[in-house]
């Protein structure tokens, strides 16, 4: 069975695009996911837009006041039940094979963490290449090199 992916989306004043974002998740060819929408004190009709969508894999958490995107993601993380966690912004879209491609890449590379690039809606034809971090194969850090430099080097292998 496929491992579950928890997808966390902070939602703030996203009524103009949240439905399309949710639909891009629903169209994934990797189907074992949960979508956690953290409604973050929107003053528009975002919550009503979300509530019109029926899918048992989608949960809505209401933060009440606007707590900011980072705290909203942390709130979603507390509710996540998946083996993998993805962050998605409320105005972004995914290609239909985003999850399956990224998880296959992570398994192939035995990666503990990965990320992808993005393209604007105006240039969606651009290819995205997954990058990864391996949890146990980082080269030793030279004494004069900041720790974060290894992250950058390792992410492009």
Q: What is the pLDDT along the chain (157 residues), one digit of tens a residue?
A: 789 999 999 999 999 999 999 999 999 999 999 999 999 999 999 999 999 999 999 999 999 999 999 999 999 999 999 999 999 999 999 999 999 999 999 999 999 989 888 776 555 444 444 444 444 444 444 444 444 333 333 333 3
User: Distances in Å between the alpha carbon of 128 and those of 16, 71, 73, 98, 106?
Assistant: 25, 28, 23, 9, 15
* Domains of the chain as residue ranges with CATH: 1-94 (3.90.550.10), 110-157 (no CATH)
Closest CA to 118 of 91, 145, 144, 139: 91
At 115 the pLDDT is 85
pLDDT of residue 123: 53
Q: What pLDDT, on a 0 to 100 scale, did the predictor assign at position 33? A: 98
What distance in Å separates the CA atoms of residue 78 and residue 8, rounded to the nearest whole number? 10
């Amino acid at each position: 069975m496929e491992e579950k992916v928890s997808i966390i989306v902070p939602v703030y004043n996203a009524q103009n695009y949240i439905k399309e974002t949710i639909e891009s998740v629903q169209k994934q060819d990797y189907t074992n996911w949960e979508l956690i929408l953290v409604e973050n004190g929107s003053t528009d009709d975002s919550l009503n837009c979300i509530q019109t969508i029926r899918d048992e894999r989608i949960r809505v958490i209401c933060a009440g006041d606007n707590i900011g995107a980072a705290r909203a993601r942390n709130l979603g993380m507390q509710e996540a039940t998946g083996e993998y966690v993805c962050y998605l912004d409320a105005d972004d879209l995914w290609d239909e094979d985003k999850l399956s491609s990224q998880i296959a890449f992570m398994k192939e590379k035995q990666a503990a963490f990965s990320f992808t690039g993005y393209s604007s809606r105006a240039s969606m034809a651009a290819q995205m290449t997954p990058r990864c971090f391996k949890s146990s194969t980082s080269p030793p850090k030279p004494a004069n090199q900041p720790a974060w430099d290894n992250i950058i080097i390792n992410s492009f292998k």
